[in-house]
Amino acid sequence: MKTKYMNPYLAGVLLGLVLLMAFFFSGRGLGASGAMKSVMVTAVDVVAPEHTANSDFYGKYVGEGKSPMKAWLVFEVLGVLVGGFLSGALSGRLNWKIEHFPGISSNRRLVFAALGGILFGFGAQLGRGCTSGSALTGMAVLSVGGFVTMAAIFGTAFALAYFFRKNWI
């Protein structure tokens, strides 16, 4: 079947090379959720600076001489936005859209997207990184935690797939 997307194995090799370049240049791998943490920490710090100064969690990122937005992952994720946009523009995929299985409503899709995001945001903090930072990058450096996180993410998604099938098929 002709598909409008890149061959997945070719895309995988390119993804691996991008990851390898991150290791080669910066000595670290890819990530995503860490940038969202930086944004959230910064926002809370603006609204309630006393709260962040006294917190074990926020205190790791804010305070004298620390600027959470000047982080590697923040700039990398800004790049992801630009790269994704360029790719979408080149392939004619730029448009406002709530994408969902035709069997469900847009509202249902958005509610589940929000719930999924909350769980993923929480889980990525607990697991010290998401699919890219912990699972993909962790596996590439052969970290036990990387393999464990990968297995837990995909294993759970498979295990729960039956219960959420009406959303997708």
Partner 1 sequence: MGPLVPQEIIGANWNLFIAFAIGVGFGFVLEQAGFSSSRKLAGMFYGYDTVVLKVFFTGAITAMLGLLFFSLFGWIDLNLVYVNPTFLGSAIVGGIIMGAGFIMGGFCPGTSVCAAAIGKVDAMVFIGGIFLGVFFFAEGYPLLKDFYMSGSYGPLKLHEVLGISSGVLVLLVIIAALGMFKLGEMAEKKWPREEY
By beta-carbon proximity to partner 1, the closer residue of 64 and 154 is: 154
- Residue 100, classified by CB atoms within 10 Å of its CB into exposed (0-12), middle (13-18) or buried (19+), is middle
Tokens of 131: 């699919």
- Residue 89, classified by CB atoms within 10 Å of its CB into exposed (0-12), middle (13-18) or buried (19+), is exposed
Q: Which of residues 138-167 bind partner 1 (CB under 8 A)?
A: 138-161, 164-165, 167
Q: Is residue 55 a contact point for partner 1 (CB under 8 A)?
A: yes
Tokens of 20: 């390898």
Q: Is residue 49 a contact point for partner 1 (CB under 8 A)?
A: no
Q: Which of residues 56-85 bind partner 1 (CB under 8 A)?
A: 56-58, 70, 72-85
Q: Is residue 6 a contact point for partner 1 (CB under 8 A)?
A: yes
Minimum distance from residue 58 beta carbon to partner 1 (Å): 6
Q: Which of residues 19-48 bind partner 1 (CB under 8 A)?
A: 19-33, 36-37, 39-41, 43-44
Minimum distance from residue 45 beta carbon to partner 1 (Å): 11
Give, in degrees to the nearest 5, the angle at Cα 137 between 26 and 111: 120
CA atoms within 13 A on the CB side of 108: 10
By beta-carbon proximity to partner 1, the closer residue of 64 and 122 is: 122
